[in-house]
Structure 1
Amino acid sequence: MMKYSEPAPAKLNLALHVRGKLPDGRHSLETIFAFCIDGDRLEAEKADELNLSISGPFAEGLSTTDNLVLDAAKALKQAAGVDAGASLYLTKKLPVASGIGGGSADAAAALRLLTGLWGIDPRHAVDVAPAIGSDVPACLLSLSAKGTEAGDKLELVQDPSISGTPALLVNPLVPLSTGAVFAAWDGIDRGPLGDWRRGRNDLEAAALTLAPDIGHVLDWLGTQPGAGFIRMSGSGATCFALFDSEAERDAAAATCPSNWWHLATFLR
């Protein structure tokens, strides 16, 4: 039986400004999304029912019944009105609850994958994505974009300096709850987002109070030759550096502390 395959690229927030609250209670965000060439991977083949299996270095503890991949599949199935199933196989390479959109990227991969497997209109995937999670629309696109409202209203970013940039992602292997980090945000609107290079991550201070190891990662990245841009992604705890060259990135990766997770990659 033919098996379909789809990447679930890691997401980075090059800048993340929290501007307050929306009428529906969600946080109002301005962010620049960028995506890596590496991440998780989802495969699927036709089946009578929907089912999910998970393998990989970060599979332990993940539910195969309560999972955003299945949420996405069920939402797409209902929206498209199809009577079909799929056996889904997730290879989990990214740390869980790490600020790089792992679950959202997996859900978005499911939407893309099942659109092809079931032969349905891609507009159904676009329609259901926001209800699955605020990062899912951006992950569905998987291209550099500016996100506003809750991060789910998107506008493509035409910045040739992003694509192909060597990047090093580092996580101290401390899981962080997105809800807890937002709850710890000080509520101060520090202004709109312009050029992402001069932006900030407004959740960094809150994340540092919950996971001080993030500070050690940021400090370490700051000592690496060629690391020209350093930031925490999303609600943490993953931090990243954009490098001037692939060689400098690889040199930094080779000296990354062994008790931290790291990924040497490029931006899409």
Structure 2
Amino acid sequence: MRLLLPCLTAAIATLAGCGKDNDSASNMAKMEVRLTDAPGDYKAVTLDVQQVEINVKGDAVDPQGWQTLTLLKPGAYDVMSYTNGNSALLTSADFPAGRISQIRLILGPNNSVTTKDGQIYDLKTPSGQTAGVKLKVDADLTKNVTYALVLDFDVAKSIVERGNWKPGNDKKERFLLKPVIRTVANAVAGGIKGTVTPAEARPTILAIRTSVAPNDTVSTTSDAAGGFLMSGLPAGAYRVEFKTIAPYKNAVATPITVANDQISDMGKVNLN
């Protein structure tokens, strides 16, 4: 039996890593799906995570609207390990900019709970939930911005103990899994774009985040038309350096500030 759970990972303590993208004409946003947990009175709660699907067309009835994401590690996740700001990265993918409407997490059959005394019990799925539990997302994605979508799994409310179960009864019948999930979408990184002239200079471009110590550095090169884009940059102040060879000149741009939900445009940078 497979359980469909909606999933959206909330803005979670671990920010999206810096990346680079040389396609300045891109209309894509990057999205991370993460798993976190509100603490509960158990030693461990293991979810058999098999698949994540996101609706990118805004029409849950249209099967073409669902996009399946490849998990970094399908299988068992002890959600009790991801509390107090910790999270598990399930998947990361590029999506067309615009609205996403729903998300769901598909679980396999090997879900379990470990009680404080060390006993392990299967988590049984009520028959009414086998068709899936869906959550609305209604998040607007901006191109080239990185987002964290968090599935905040409330263990205390999601695991229900049968009132008539007694020691000696079938262990598989003690607990039911009735997921209670809070979903949040936050932008966690922005970027810097611009155009170098002449395009033939093809410089190496460094974005150095000066607002942290030690400084973070992300690099890229311009494309054939002179355009460049560095996305997935955490918020902060940056110094942007352009390094090329003669007859072109190196350059250092005026300090630029990156916000999580924006792509800062440097305009044209002259290397003559």
Aligning the two structures, in what range does the TM-score lie when normalised by the shorter sequence? under 0.3
Could you state the TM-score of these two structures normalised by the residue count of structure 1? 0.26
* Richer in strand (by share): 2
Larger radius of gyration: 2
